[in-house]
Chains A and B, each alone.
Chain A
Amino acid sequence: MRAVAVAGIGKTPFGSFAGCDLRSLAVEAGQKCLANAHTQPSRVNACFVGNFAGPAFVGQNHLAPYISTAIGIQGVPSTRIEAACASSGSALYHAWAGVASGLYETALVIGVEKMTSQPTPKVTEILASAGDCSGEIKAGSTFASLFAMIARRHMHQFGTKREHLAAVAVKNHANGALNPDAHMRKVITLEQALAGKPVADPLTLYDCSLISDGAAAVLLAPAEQAREFTDKPIRILGIAQASDYVALDQKEDITTFPAVRRAAEAAYDMAGVGPRDIQLAEIHDCFTIAEIIALEDLGFAPRGEGGPYSAEGHTARTGERPVNTSGGLKSKGHPVGATGVAQICDLVLQMRCEAGERQVPRTSLGLAQNLGGSGATCVVTILANA
Protein backbone atom coordinates (compact mmCIF):
# COMPACT_ATOMS: atom_id res chain seq x y z
CA MET A 1 0.00 0.00 0.00
CA ARG A 2 1.27 3.47 -0.86
CA ALA A 3 0.68 6.67 1.13
CA VAL A 4 -2.36 8.71 0.09
CA ALA A 5 -3.04 12.42 0.56
CA VAL A 6 -5.97 14.79 0.32
CA ALA A 7 -5.12 16.86 -2.76
CA GLY A 8 -8.20 19.08 -2.80
CA ILE A 9 -11.38 19.91 -0.89
CA GLY A 10 -14.72 21.49 -1.80
CA LYS A 11 -17.95 22.08 0.10
CA THR A 12 -21.29 23.75 -0.30
CA PRO A 13 -22.61 25.68 2.68
CA PHE A 14 -24.92 23.52 4.83
CA GLY A 15 -28.50 24.69 5.33
CA SER A 16 -31.99 24.59 3.92
CA PHE A 17 -31.76 25.40 0.22
CA ALA A 18 -35.15 25.26 -1.50
CA GLY A 19 -33.58 26.24 -4.83
CA CYS A 20 -30.89 23.50 -4.95
CA ASP A 21 -31.57 19.90 -5.87
CA LEU A 22 -29.39 16.95 -4.82
CA ARG A 23 -27.35 16.88 -8.00
CA SER A 24 -26.62 20.61 -8.09
CA LEU A 25 -25.29 20.46 -4.52
CA ALA A 26 -23.05 17.47 -5.32
CA VAL A 27 -21.82 19.06 -8.55
CA GLU A 28 -21.00 22.33 -6.76
CA ALA A 29 -18.92 20.50 -4.14
CA GLY A 30 -17.18 18.35 -6.77
CA GLN A 31 -16.33 21.32 -9.00
CA LYS A 32 -15.06 23.36 -6.05
CA CYS A 33 -12.88 20.41 -5.05
CA LEU A 34 -11.35 20.00 -8.52
CA ALA A 35 -10.72 23.76 -8.68
CA ASN A 36 -9.13 23.61 -5.23
CA ALA A 37 -6.81 20.86 -6.55
CA HIS A 38 -6.09 22.91 -9.72
CA THR A 39 -7.19 20.00 -11.89
CA GLN A 40 -9.75 18.86 -14.45
CA PRO A 41 -12.53 16.21 -14.52
CA SER A 42 -10.42 14.27 -17.05
CA ARG A 43 -7.80 13.53 -14.37
CA VAL A 44 -10.29 11.77 -12.10
CA ASN A 45 -9.78 7.97 -12.28
CA ALA A 46 -12.73 6.98 -10.10
CA CYS A 47 -15.65 8.61 -8.35
CA PHE A 48 -17.23 7.48 -5.08
CA VAL A 49 -20.49 9.04 -3.90
CA GLY A 50 -21.55 8.74 -0.27
CA ASN A 51 -25.32 9.14 0.03
CA PHE A 52 -27.73 7.71 2.57
CA ALA A 53 -31.22 8.09 1.17
CA GLY A 54 -31.37 10.02 -2.09
CA PRO A 55 -33.96 7.58 -3.46
CA ALA A 56 -36.25 8.13 -0.44
CA PHE A 57 -35.64 11.87 0.00
CA VAL A 58 -35.80 12.96 -3.65
CA GLY A 59 -36.81 9.86 -5.64
CA GLN A 60 -33.55 9.55 -7.58
CA ASN A 61 -31.49 6.38 -7.80
CA HIS A 62 -28.30 5.51 -9.73
CA LEU A 63 -26.78 8.58 -8.16
CA ALA A 64 -23.06 8.16 -8.77
CA PRO A 65 -22.96 8.44 -12.59
CA TYR A 66 -25.91 10.88 -12.39
CA ILE A 67 -23.60 13.20 -10.45
CA SER A 68 -20.17 12.43 -11.92
CA THR A 69 -21.23 12.92 -15.55
CA ALA A 70 -22.72 16.29 -14.60
CA ILE A 71 -19.24 17.28 -13.36
CA GLY A 72 -17.78 16.16 -16.70
CA ILE A 73 -16.21 12.96 -15.38
CA GLN A 74 -16.67 10.42 -18.19
CA GLY A 75 -16.25 6.68 -18.47
CA VAL A 76 -14.53 5.85 -15.17
CA PRO A 77 -16.01 3.73 -12.36
CA SER A 78 -18.57 5.80 -10.44
CA THR A 79 -20.09 4.13 -7.40
CA ARG A 80 -22.57 5.09 -4.68
CA ILE A 81 -21.90 3.85 -1.16
CA GLU A 82 -24.59 3.73 1.55
CA ALA A 83 -23.79 3.25 5.22
CA ALA A 84 -26.39 5.46 6.92
CA CYS A 85 -24.70 8.56 8.43
CA ALA A 86 -21.28 7.03 7.66
CA SER A 87 -21.99 6.82 3.91
CA SER A 88 -19.33 9.27 2.82
CA GLY A 89 -16.85 8.12 5.47
CA SER A 90 -17.22 4.68 3.93
CA ALA A 91 -16.91 6.15 0.42
CA LEU A 92 -13.67 7.82 1.55
CA TYR A 93 -12.39 4.52 2.95
CA HIS A 94 -13.05 2.66 -0.30
CA ALA A 95 -11.57 5.47 -2.42
CA TRP A 96 -8.50 5.46 -0.19
CA ALA A 97 -8.16 1.68 -0.68
CA GLY A 98 -8.30 2.16 -4.47
CA VAL A 99 -5.59 4.82 -4.53
CA ALA A 100 -3.42 3.16 -1.86
CA SER A 101 -3.47 -0.15 -3.77
CA GLY A 102 -2.41 1.51 -7.02
CA LEU A 103 -5.69 0.76 -8.81
CA TYR A 104 -6.38 4.51 -9.24
CA GLU A 105 -4.07 7.51 -9.48
CA THR A 106 -6.83 9.80 -8.26
CA ALA A 107 -10.27 9.33 -6.75
CA LEU A 108 -12.94 11.94 -6.16
CA VAL A 109 -15.14 11.34 -3.11
CA ILE A 110 -18.40 13.26 -2.87
CA GLY A 111 -20.85 13.12 0.02
CA VAL A 112 -24.33 14.57 -0.48
CA GLU A 113 -27.80 14.66 1.03
CA LYS A 114 -30.89 16.70 0.23
CA MET A 115 -33.23 16.42 3.22
CA THR A 116 -35.29 19.58 3.61
CA SER A 117 -37.71 18.93 0.76
CA GLN A 118 -39.58 16.53 3.08
CA PRO A 119 -41.59 17.43 6.22
CA THR A 120 -39.99 16.48 9.58
CA PRO A 121 -42.15 13.34 10.30
CA LYS A 122 -41.20 12.00 6.85
CA VAL A 123 -37.50 12.81 7.46
CA THR A 124 -37.78 11.03 10.82
CA GLU A 125 -39.25 7.98 9.06
CA ILE A 126 -36.53 7.91 6.38
CA LEU A 127 -33.76 8.28 8.97
CA ALA A 128 -35.32 5.45 11.01
CA SER A 129 -34.82 3.11 8.06
CA ALA A 130 -31.14 3.01 9.08
CA GLY A 131 -32.25 1.05 12.15
CA ASP A 132 -33.66 -2.50 12.30
CA CYS A 133 -37.03 -2.16 10.57
CA SER A 134 -38.14 -5.64 11.66
CA GLY A 135 -37.81 -4.80 15.38
CA GLU A 136 -36.91 -1.51 17.03
CA ILE A 137 -38.32 0.69 14.25
CA LYS A 138 -41.59 -1.26 14.08
CA ALA A 139 -41.96 -0.55 17.81
CA GLY A 140 -41.93 3.19 17.07
CA SER A 141 -38.25 4.00 17.60
CA THR A 142 -36.71 7.05 15.97
CA PHE A 143 -33.00 7.78 15.78
CA ALA A 144 -33.37 10.37 18.51
CA SER A 145 -35.11 7.75 20.66
CA LEU A 146 -32.33 5.20 20.13
CA PHE A 147 -29.71 7.73 21.26
CA ALA A 148 -32.06 8.82 24.08
CA MET A 149 -32.04 5.22 25.34
CA ILE A 150 -28.24 5.20 25.04
CA ALA A 151 -28.11 8.47 27.03
CA ARG A 152 -30.45 7.10 29.74
CA ARG A 153 -28.21 4.06 30.18
CA HIS A 154 -25.00 6.14 30.21
CA MET A 155 -26.56 8.40 32.87
CA HIS A 156 -27.61 5.34 34.88
CA GLN A 157 -24.22 3.62 34.74
CA PHE A 158 -21.86 6.59 34.99
CA GLY A 159 -23.82 9.50 36.47
CA THR A 160 -23.72 11.53 33.27
CA LYS A 161 -25.98 14.57 33.67
CA ARG A 162 -28.25 16.63 31.41
CA GLU A 163 -25.80 19.50 31.99
CA HIS A 164 -23.01 17.44 30.43
CA LEU A 165 -25.09 16.84 27.30
CA ALA A 166 -26.03 20.52 27.14
CA ALA A 167 -22.36 21.55 27.44
CA VAL A 168 -21.63 19.71 24.19
CA ALA A 169 -24.41 21.61 22.40
CA VAL A 170 -23.27 24.97 23.81
CA LYS A 171 -19.66 24.33 22.72
CA ASN A 172 -20.59 23.18 19.21
CA HIS A 173 -22.93 26.13 18.69
CA ALA A 174 -20.19 28.52 19.83
CA ASN A 175 -17.90 27.02 17.18
CA GLY A 176 -20.52 26.92 14.45
CA ALA A 177 -21.29 30.60 15.01
CA LEU A 178 -17.80 31.30 13.62
CA ASN A 179 -18.23 29.04 10.57
CA PRO A 180 -19.67 30.96 7.60
CA ASP A 181 -20.81 27.66 6.01
CA ALA A 182 -22.67 26.41 9.10
CA HIS A 183 -26.43 25.79 9.02
CA MET A 184 -27.24 27.35 12.40
CA ARG A 185 -24.81 30.14 13.32
CA LYS A 186 -26.32 30.78 16.72
CA VAL A 187 -24.63 30.96 20.12
CA ILE A 188 -26.77 29.26 22.78
CA THR A 189 -26.57 29.28 26.58
CA LEU A 190 -26.58 26.30 28.93
CA GLU A 191 -29.99 27.43 30.20
CA GLN A 192 -31.42 27.47 26.66
CA ALA A 193 -29.99 24.04 25.91
CA LEU A 194 -31.50 22.60 29.10
CA ALA A 195 -34.90 24.13 28.40
CA GLY A 196 -35.21 22.82 24.84
CA LYS A 197 -38.38 21.22 23.54
CA PRO A 198 -38.37 17.48 24.36
CA VAL A 199 -37.73 15.15 21.40
CA ALA A 200 -37.14 11.83 23.18
CA ASP A 201 -36.39 11.94 26.93
CA PRO A 202 -33.80 12.93 28.05
CA LEU A 203 -32.88 14.52 24.68
CA THR A 204 -34.28 17.90 23.65
CA LEU A 205 -34.09 19.76 20.38
CA TYR A 206 -30.69 21.12 21.46
CA ASP A 207 -29.27 17.60 21.78
CA CYS A 208 -30.13 16.75 18.18
CA SER A 209 -28.24 17.52 14.98
CA LEU A 210 -29.94 19.45 12.21
CA ILE A 211 -31.89 18.38 9.14
CA SER A 212 -29.78 19.92 6.37
CA ASP A 213 -29.00 20.03 2.67
CA GLY A 214 -25.38 20.02 1.58
CA ALA A 215 -22.46 18.33 -0.12
CA ALA A 216 -18.72 17.97 0.39
CA ALA A 217 -15.91 16.52 -1.73
CA VAL A 218 -12.26 15.55 -1.45
CA LEU A 219 -9.77 14.50 -4.11
CA LEU A 220 -7.36 11.73 -3.13
CA ALA A 221 -3.98 11.21 -4.81
CA PRO A 222 -0.78 9.31 -3.96
CA ALA A 223 1.12 11.37 -1.37
CA GLU A 224 4.17 11.48 -3.66
CA GLN A 225 2.17 13.20 -6.39
CA ALA A 226 -0.05 15.37 -4.20
CA ARG A 227 2.09 18.47 -4.69
CA GLU A 228 1.11 18.46 -8.37
CA PHE A 229 -2.34 19.48 -7.11
CA THR A 230 -1.74 21.61 -4.01
CA ASP A 231 1.07 23.17 -2.03
CA LYS A 232 -0.70 22.09 1.18
CA PRO A 233 -1.33 18.33 0.84
CA ILE A 234 -2.65 16.60 3.94
CA ARG A 235 -1.65 12.97 4.33
CA ILE A 236 -4.03 10.17 5.36
CA LEU A 237 -1.85 8.62 8.05
CA GLY A 238 -4.42 6.06 9.17
CA ILE A 239 -7.93 5.04 8.18
CA ALA A 240 -10.23 2.17 9.13
CA GLN A 241 -13.85 1.13 8.89
CA ALA A 242 -15.55 -1.26 11.31
CA SER A 243 -19.02 -2.73 11.76
CA ASP A 244 -21.40 -3.92 14.46
CA TYR A 245 -25.09 -4.85 14.94
CA VAL A 246 -27.69 -2.57 13.36
CA ALA A 247 -30.26 -3.20 16.12
CA LEU A 248 -29.48 -1.51 19.42
CA ASP A 249 -31.12 -4.34 21.41
CA GLN A 250 -28.57 -6.84 20.04
CA LYS A 251 -25.65 -5.01 21.66
CA GLU A 252 -24.44 -6.27 25.01
CA ASP A 253 -23.57 -2.78 26.28
CA ILE A 254 -25.09 0.27 24.59
CA THR A 255 -22.91 2.80 26.44
CA THR A 256 -19.96 2.12 24.14
CA PHE A 257 -19.63 1.60 20.39
CA PRO A 258 -17.44 -1.43 19.57
CA ALA A 259 -17.22 -0.32 15.91
CA VAL A 260 -15.74 3.01 17.02
CA ARG A 261 -13.21 1.29 19.24
CA ARG A 262 -12.24 -1.19 16.50
CA ALA A 263 -11.92 1.47 13.81
CA ALA A 264 -9.96 3.77 16.14
CA GLU A 265 -7.57 1.02 17.19
CA ALA A 266 -6.89 0.05 13.58
CA ALA A 267 -6.46 3.68 12.47
CA TYR A 268 -4.13 4.46 15.39
CA ASP A 269 -2.10 1.31 14.56
CA MET A 270 -1.80 2.24 10.89
CA ALA A 271 -0.79 5.81 11.78
CA GLY A 272 1.62 4.71 14.51
CA VAL A 273 0.10 7.22 16.94
CA GLY A 274 -2.18 7.11 19.98
CA PRO A 275 -5.07 9.24 21.23
CA ARG A 276 -2.72 11.52 23.18
CA ASP A 277 -0.98 12.58 19.97
CA ILE A 278 -4.19 13.81 18.33
CA GLN A 279 -4.39 17.60 18.45
CA LEU A 280 -7.89 18.21 17.10
CA ALA A 281 -10.87 16.13 16.05
CA GLU A 282 -14.14 16.22 14.17
CA ILE A 283 -16.49 13.85 15.99
CA HIS A 284 -19.89 12.53 14.92
CA ASP A 285 -22.21 14.47 17.26
CA CYS A 286 -25.50 13.37 15.66
CA PHE A 287 -26.73 13.67 19.25
CA THR A 288 -24.83 15.21 22.16
CA ILE A 289 -24.49 11.83 23.88
CA ALA A 290 -22.78 10.47 20.75
CA GLU A 291 -19.95 13.00 21.12
CA ILE A 292 -19.56 12.11 24.81
CA ILE A 293 -19.33 8.38 24.12
CA ALA A 294 -17.03 8.90 21.11
CA LEU A 295 -14.61 10.84 23.35
CA GLU A 296 -14.41 7.71 25.50
CA ASP A 297 -14.26 5.17 22.67
CA LEU A 298 -11.53 7.15 20.86
CA GLY A 299 -9.45 7.20 24.05
CA PHE A 300 -9.63 10.97 24.67
CA ALA A 301 -11.53 10.60 27.95
CA PRO A 302 -11.67 7.69 30.43
CA ARG A 303 -14.69 5.37 30.15
CA GLY A 304 -17.79 6.95 31.64
CA GLU A 305 -16.15 10.37 32.00
CA GLY A 306 -16.90 11.87 28.60
CA GLY A 307 -19.58 14.07 30.16
CA PRO A 308 -17.49 15.79 32.84
CA TYR A 309 -14.54 15.92 30.38
CA SER A 310 -16.74 17.92 27.98
CA ALA A 311 -18.21 20.17 30.67
CA GLU A 312 -14.68 20.99 31.92
CA GLY A 313 -13.87 22.57 28.56
CA HIS A 314 -11.16 20.18 27.33
CA THR A 315 -12.88 19.95 23.93
CA ALA A 316 -13.41 23.70 23.47
CA ARG A 317 -11.39 25.68 20.91
CA THR A 318 -9.17 26.80 23.80
CA GLY A 319 -9.02 23.33 25.37
CA GLU A 320 -6.34 20.63 25.25
CA ARG A 321 -7.89 18.96 22.20
CA PRO A 322 -10.50 21.00 20.33
CA VAL A 323 -13.41 18.88 19.06
CA ASN A 324 -15.77 19.97 16.29
CA THR A 325 -14.29 23.41 15.63
CA SER A 326 -16.58 23.40 12.56
CA GLY A 327 -19.64 23.44 14.81
CA GLY A 328 -20.17 19.71 14.38
CA LEU A 329 -23.36 18.11 13.15
CA LYS A 330 -25.19 20.08 15.84
CA SER A 331 -24.50 23.55 14.47
CA LYS A 332 -22.73 23.12 11.12
CA GLY A 333 -25.57 20.80 10.06
CA HIS A 334 -25.95 17.13 9.18
CA PRO A 335 -26.82 16.40 5.56
CA VAL A 336 -26.39 12.72 6.41
CA GLY A 337 -24.50 11.47 3.37
CA ALA A 338 -22.24 14.54 3.23
CA THR A 339 -21.07 14.45 6.84
CA GLY A 340 -18.11 12.04 6.65
CA VAL A 341 -16.38 13.93 3.84
CA ALA A 342 -17.34 17.31 5.34
CA GLN A 343 -15.48 16.32 8.51
CA ILE A 344 -12.36 15.71 6.40
CA CYS A 345 -12.79 19.08 4.64
CA ASP A 346 -13.10 20.85 8.01
CA LEU A 347 -9.99 19.13 9.41
CA VAL A 348 -8.04 20.00 6.26
CA LEU A 349 -9.08 23.66 6.55
CA GLN A 350 -7.70 23.73 10.11
CA MET A 351 -4.53 21.85 9.11
CA ARG A 352 -3.91 24.23 6.21
CA CYS A 353 -4.49 27.16 8.61
CA GLU A 354 -7.44 28.30 6.47
CA ALA A 355 -10.15 28.05 9.14
CA GLY A 356 -10.56 31.79 9.64
CA GLU A 357 -12.03 32.95 12.94
CA ARG A 358 -12.28 29.41 14.32
CA GLN A 359 -8.62 28.54 13.55
CA VAL A 360 -6.87 26.72 16.40
CA PRO A 361 -3.07 26.80 16.87
CA ARG A 362 -2.08 23.10 17.06
CA THR A 363 -3.11 21.24 13.91
CA SER A 364 -0.38 18.83 12.84
CA LEU A 365 -2.38 15.67 13.67
CA GLY A 366 -6.18 15.51 13.32
CA LEU A 367 -8.79 12.77 13.63
CA ALA A 368 -12.26 12.38 12.09
CA GLN A 369 -14.85 9.91 13.40
CA ASN A 370 -17.94 9.20 11.28
CA LEU A 371 -20.69 7.01 12.77
CA GLY A 372 -23.50 5.22 10.95
CA GLY A 373 -26.83 4.46 12.58
CA SER A 374 -26.68 3.64 16.28
CA GLY A 375 -23.12 2.39 15.82
CA ALA A 376 -23.29 -0.28 13.10
CA THR A 377 -20.66 1.44 10.93
CA CYS A 378 -17.75 3.61 11.97
CA VAL A 379 -14.94 5.14 9.94
CA VAL A 380 -11.98 6.74 11.70
CA THR A 381 -9.44 8.75 9.72
CA ILE A 382 -6.19 10.26 10.98
CA LEU A 383 -4.70 13.14 8.99
CA ALA A 384 -1.23 14.65 9.21
CA ASN A 385 0.50 17.59 7.58
CA ALA A 386 2.33 15.93 4.71
Chain B
Amino acid sequence: MNPTLGTVYTETVIYSAPEAFLDDVPYQTAIVTLDHGGRVTGRILGDRVAIDDRVQQVEVRDGVPYFRKLS
Protein backbone atom coordinates (compact mmCIF):
# COMPACT_ATOMS: atom_id res chain seq x y z
CA MET B 1 0.00 0.00 0.00
CA ASN B 2 1.31 3.45 -0.90
CA PRO B 3 2.19 5.69 2.07
CA THR B 4 -0.04 8.70 2.79
CA LEU B 5 2.09 11.75 1.98
CA GLY B 6 1.31 15.42 2.23
CA THR B 7 2.56 18.98 2.59
CA VAL B 8 2.20 21.18 5.66
CA TYR B 9 -0.33 23.95 4.90
CA THR B 10 0.02 25.53 8.36
CA GLU B 11 1.13 24.53 11.85
CA THR B 12 1.44 25.60 15.47
CA VAL B 13 3.04 24.42 18.69
CA ILE B 14 0.54 24.39 21.55
CA TYR B 15 1.60 25.36 25.10
CA SER B 16 -1.82 25.96 26.68
CA ALA B 17 -3.91 22.81 26.25
CA PRO B 18 -7.37 21.51 27.12
CA GLU B 19 -7.59 19.10 30.06
CA ALA B 20 -7.37 15.99 27.89
CA PHE B 21 -4.02 17.03 26.39
CA LEU B 22 -2.24 18.62 29.38
CA ASP B 23 0.31 15.77 29.52
CA ASP B 24 1.30 16.30 25.87
CA VAL B 25 2.34 19.98 26.18
CA PRO B 26 4.11 21.31 24.18
CA TYR B 27 2.83 19.53 21.07
CA GLN B 28 2.58 20.43 17.41
CA THR B 29 -0.56 20.26 15.28
CA ALA B 30 -0.71 20.93 11.55
CA ILE B 31 -3.17 21.13 8.71
CA VAL B 32 -1.75 18.88 6.01
CA THR B 33 -2.68 19.00 2.33
CA LEU B 34 -2.69 15.34 1.27
CA ASP B 35 -1.18 14.32 -2.06
CA HIS B 36 -4.32 12.35 -2.89
CA GLY B 37 -6.51 15.40 -2.16
CA GLY B 38 -8.15 17.12 0.78
CA ARG B 39 -6.79 18.53 4.01
CA VAL B 40 -6.70 17.06 7.51
CA THR B 41 -5.71 18.33 10.93
CA GLY B 42 -3.21 16.03 12.59
CA ARG B 43 -0.44 15.76 15.14
CA ILE B 44 3.27 15.92 14.37
CA LEU B 45 5.64 13.33 15.86
CA GLY B 46 9.40 13.85 16.11
CA ASP B 47 11.01 16.89 14.50
CA ARG B 48 9.02 20.11 14.30
CA VAL B 49 7.67 21.00 10.88
CA ALA B 50 7.15 24.31 9.05
CA ILE B 51 4.84 25.41 6.22
CA ASP B 52 5.62 23.58 2.94
CA ASP B 53 7.52 20.73 4.67
CA ARG B 54 6.77 17.29 3.31
CA VAL B 55 5.28 14.83 5.81
CA GLN B 56 4.24 11.18 5.91
CA GLN B 57 1.34 9.78 7.90
CA VAL B 58 2.79 7.20 10.30
CA GLU B 59 -0.29 6.16 12.26
CA VAL B 60 -3.92 6.92 13.07
CA ARG B 61 -5.00 6.92 16.73
CA ASP B 62 -8.68 7.32 17.59
CA GLY B 63 -9.28 8.75 14.13
CA VAL B 64 -6.47 11.34 14.46
CA PRO B 65 -3.71 11.16 11.83
CA TYR B 66 -0.10 11.43 13.10
CA PHE B 67 2.57 12.68 10.72
CA ARG B 68 6.35 12.67 10.65
CA LYS B 69 8.64 15.00 8.69
CA LEU B 70 10.16 13.45 5.57
CA SER B 71 13.88 14.00 5.47
Q: What is the distance, in angstroms, from B3's C-beta to the closest C-beta of chain A? A: 20
CB nearest neighbor in B for A198 = B15
Q: How many residues of A contact B (CB 8 A)?
A: 34
A200-B27 Cα distance, complex, nearest whole Å? 9
Q: What is the distance, in angstroms, from B1's C-beta to the closest C-beta of chain A? A: 23
Q: Is the CB of B18 within 8 A of A124?
A: yes
Q: Within 8 Å CB of A128, what residues of B?
A: 18
Q: Is B64 an interface residue (CB 8 A)?
A: yes
Given contacts A139-B41, A249-B40, contact A145 B14 (CB under 8 A): yes
A195-B18 Cα distance, complex, nearest whole Å? 23
CB nearest neighbor in A for B21 = A140
A150-B71 Cα distance, complex, nearest whole Å? 26
Q: What is the distance, in angstroms, from B21's C-beta to the closest C-beta of chain A? A: 5
Contact of B19 among A125, A156, A203 (CB under 8 A): A125
Q: Is the CB of B51 within 8 A of A156?
A: yes
Q: Is the CB of A200 within 8 A of B18?
A: no
Q: Within 8 Å CB of B10, what residues of A?
A: 149-150, 152-153, 156, 254
Contact with A along B20-32 (1 / 0, CB 8 A): 1110100101110
Q: Is the CB of B64 within 8 A of A138?
A: yes
CB nearest neighbor in B for A126 = B18
Contact of A124 among B16, B24, B29, B31 (CB under 8 A): B16
Which 3 A-B pairs rank lowest in CB-CB distance, beginning with the nearest? A125-B18, A148-B12, A136-B41
Kindly list 8 other residue pairs between chains A and B, CB separation below 8 angstroms, not including A138-B63, A248-B41.
Answer: A121-B17, A124-B18, A125-B18, A125-B20, A128-B18, A136-B41, A140-B24, A249-B31
